[in-house]
Amino acid sequence: MSADGGARQPIGVFDSGVGGLSVVSELRRALPREDIVYFADTANCPYGARPAAEIQALSEQATAFLLTRGAKIIVVACNTASAAGLRPLRALHGPGLPIVGLVPPVKPAVALSRSRVIGVLATPGTLQGALLREVIAEFATPLGVRVVPTAVAGLVEAGEAGAMDTPATRALLEIALEPMLAAGADALALGCTHYPFLRPQIAALAGPDFAVLDSGAGVARQTQRLLEAQGRLNPDGAGRLALYTSGDPAQVGAIMARLLGEEVTCAFWQ
């Protein structure tokens, strides 16, 4: 480790595709001095319907790549990978490598709900994972809050294509929101990092009083806490963002630029 204790090493972030850039945006806002290396596993996206063992293997592969780029902490910016792979990753790497994962923000959604009904919009892998069951059991069930979980195929693919505001995407969102709204939900926990980019479309369909929450800011706070505890926050400078993909860098880079609202360069990961 360097003389600065590794403080100037980057934060490593991965997702099945470009959706984790919603988390990257929160990390850059909270930790503007930190370099970030982001890996979009576009060649294997989406993860949502894959078997748990396959998701775990892909998560280990992504983590290994980020470690070759010098990552001092790993952020699993993918709900499906967190649901299937977070515990195996932590067991594999031990306490020496802090790893931050995602769960749908059920707790804040419950706190905001007046109707005592909330929705969770996620992929099948996240809905079937133990992490979601645990947070529902801890934060919703004891308070008598009903949770309406929904997974709709095609939304991740729309995000990967940058097709956020199209008739097809709005039709998928209508299908996703209908059972929640019919049940009286007034808050929605987003269980996929692609979905924060759909906030304007969700608001247009569900109305301004429908609260929409994601985990990005919470993940940024937890990342900051862990780095502070290790004395590894970068003390100065302006953070840089390096982007990699297992897909076509030109195609993926164009979508990344659109989502981030800035010119970026994306490289192939190997």
Q: Which residues are catalytic?
A: 78, 192
Let me know: does 18 contact 42? Beta carbons within 8 Å. yes
CA atoms within 13 A on the CB side of 252: 24
The strand pairing partners of 241, in sequence order, are 36
